[in-house]
Amino acid sequence: MHPSARFLTYTLPCSLLLAGSLLAGDLPKKPVKTYTIGQFMKTVRFGGADLSPDEKTVLYSSNQDGIFNLYEVPFAGGTPKQLTHSKTESLYVLGYLPDGRILYSADQGGNELTHIYLREKDGAVTDLTPGPNAKYQYAGLSHDRKSFYYQSNARNKAAFDVFEMDLATMKPRMIYENGGGFFPGDVSPDRRYIALGKTVTTTNSDAYLFNTQTKEVKNLTPHTGEVANSPQEFSPDGAKLLIRTDAGGEFAYVQAYDLKSGKTETLDKASWDIAADYYSYKGRYRVVSVNNDARTELRLIDTRSGQTVAMQGLPAGDVTGVNIGDSEGRMLFFVNSSNAPATLFSYDFAAKKATPLVRGLNPEIDPADLVTGEVIRYKSFDGMEIPALLYKPKDASATNKRPAILSIHGGPGGQTRLNYSPLVQYLVNAGYVVLAVNNRGSSGYGKTFYAADDRKHGDADLRDCVESKKFLAQTGYVVPDKIGIMGGSYGGYMTLAGLTFTPDEFAVGVDIFGVANWLRTLNSMPAWWGPQRDAMFKEIGHPQTDSVALYNKSPLFHTQRIKKPLLVIQGANDPRVLKIESDEIVANVTKNGVPVEYVTFPDEGHGFAKKENEIVAYEAVRKFLDKYLLGTETAQR
């Protein structure tokens, strides 16, 4: 994930609106069947999809065999064919080349140092970017389809240069040497310009244009104050560059910058953030995604008429990953929701027909047993309204009160969305109420809300989580003294901070890849984050000049205050939150005589790449919560 997404972005696969009365609801019409984590984890997850050059075949990556591999399936539907059989590294689709060969990416054991691989039609594989200790990021095919672009920090670990790989010779050439401070973006169709982004702070950035002929770098968005500007992509005719900005308002919208005149005009705007805005290959369609209150609202616009294309026959849910073929007659996308995992669809524009190709849900699970997430809001300690996503077990009522677990997303600056989560559905199926809190500092709710946690981490944002307990108690179906806290990455930090700085508020804590020592973590951020490191220092604190403040907000130095049971889950290869963070927090809390359980994975990084490891981790979460939140007498309900 690109570091502009803000820091430690592992988000628990969680998702979650205000409903009518939240008091005791009707009991389910039929008993809800309970399922194992193994059954929930038979859900198929996807890692991208692409159309073959003749648009008759769909390439995608999924973890259906336990780890991400490459598969093909006919566009019209049929039986998928597995192309790769990796057992150690997850392989993610980049796309087809014009001659039908395939590009994919993979790192080594979760270290995030991705390489780009070429798979020949006979299955032979070549690492096109074999340099050691460097990260290589695919940046798309050229508009004339004679080459592809990629970015590499092999020359300078803190800056990404841009290369063009000629498809005839498979030899790269550098087309932009990054002097530092920029994140490269799209290359114009005529190769004359490269879009660049420059981050000042997490809420202040600019879009630049690099002229490959004159070597001039031009700031397209000079401004005063806190404005976030970022380049998106060039229009297919090469006349304009789309720029995402929140200038003059709370939410991000998209402008079109005319390369010849230098003038800008607003292209797409909504009452929420425009999350993505891009053209199809020839420009007939524009795909606009709006982050509408933790949901993805898709607008597929026919640029000839300016009208939205209506697609019939789709299930309810978010339409994401839209990929329109070069002919602009066929398309791929995914549909998912809080109670239904993603399904891969193909779409024929002429026939106006959508075809489900690969369904994500395990057929052993009855969809009627799954729970739909609801967006709720509550007032925090200072009156700020906090959005959260609520999952209620179907049998929870005033006469059958249930324990609850807060789920805190990664970041800071992430957002829990209404997407399907096997872990959430597993816990709700086991009788736990799950509330995913989008505390202040979360993205998607305006730039004021986004910046409201700056320099207040582990304090104001944590108090938002504590305040959610009042909401849960008021539902009438939650046991007030049986509320725990759980999170991954920054959410793991929030878990540790909750047990440390508010030791009487949460009954248990589950920390997954969480920060324990800000001084070490900020000093050990990967070099390839470049200017994002400086932005993080400004937001959270600098390990040299703000060492006292960072010490005070680091749970590791205050573990004597922890007195509630803790489960820690850690990947040994994590390059963002080093394993020593978790080793030390476990050792220190153990000295308190507090129950501590520790689960480590030697072959994972910052997040899970292997399904078998996820199963082990989530089963450990369930057993831990049953033991210390439910109590052993109700552990096997």
> Per residue in 384-419, pLDDT tens?
999 999 999 999 999 999 999 999 999 888 999 999
- Nearest-CA neighbor of 452 among 469, 470, 464? 464
What's the confidence (pLDDT) of residue 4? 36
What's the confidence (pLDDT) of residue 12? 46
Spatial neighbors of 33 by CB under 8 A, at least 6 apart, are 366, 369
- Nearest-CA neighbor of 109 among 485, 625, 542, 604? 604
Mean predicted confidence (pLDDT) in 454-473: 96
What's the confidence (pLDDT) of residue 632? 59
24, pLDDT greater than 80:
no
- Nearest-CA neighbor of 152 among 108, 189, 113, 200? 113
What's the confidence (pLDDT) of residue 13? 42
Sign, Cα dihedral of 78, 84, 85, 87: negative
State the chain's mean pLDDT as an integer: 92
Mean predicted confidence (pLDDT) in 162-176: 97
Share of the chain above pLDDT 70, in %: 95
Q: How confident is the model at residue 316 (pLDDT cuts 50, 70, 90)?
A: confident
Which of 253-257, 524-528, 562-566 has the weakest average pLDDT?
A: 524-528
- In whole angstroms, give the CA distance from residue 601 to residue 195: 39
What's the confidence (pLDDT) of residue 16? 26
117, pLDDT greater than 90:
yes
Mean predicted confidence (pLDDT) in 515-528: 88
Strands 596-601 and 566-571: parallel
Q: How confident is the model at residue 22 (pLDDT cuts 50, 70, 90)?
A: very low
Q: Are 331 and 322 in contact (CB under 8 A)?
A: yes
- C-alpha distance from residue 130 to each of 116, 126, 136, 149, 152 (Å): 8, 9, 9, 16, 11
pLDDT, tens digit, for every residue of 616-634? 999 999 999 999 999 854 4
What's the confidence (pLDDT) of residue 313? 79
Strand partners, 288: 277, 299
What's the confidence (pLDDT) of residue 635? 42
Mean predicted confidence (pLDDT) in 102-108: 97
333, pLDDT greater than 80:
yes
User: DSSP strand E in 259-339: where?
Assistant: 264-268, 273-279, 285-292, 295-302, 307-308, 318-324, 330-337
What's the confidence (pLDDT) of residue 360? 94
Mean predicted confidence (pLDDT) in 493-518: 97
What's the confidence (pLDDT) of residue 308? 94
272, pLDDT greater than 60:
yes
Q: How confident is the model at residue 61 (pLDDT cuts 50, 70, 90)?
A: very high
Mean predicted confidence (pLDDT) in 93-113: 96
What's the confidence (pLDDT) of residue 533? 80
Mean predicted confidence (pLDDT) in 218-222: 97
Strand partners, 65: none
Mean predicted confidence (pLDDT) in 250-263: 97
Q: How confident is the model at residue 29 (pLDDT cuts 50, 70, 90)?
A: low
636, pLDDT greater than 60:
no
pLDDT, tens digit, for every residue of 80-91? 999 999 999 999
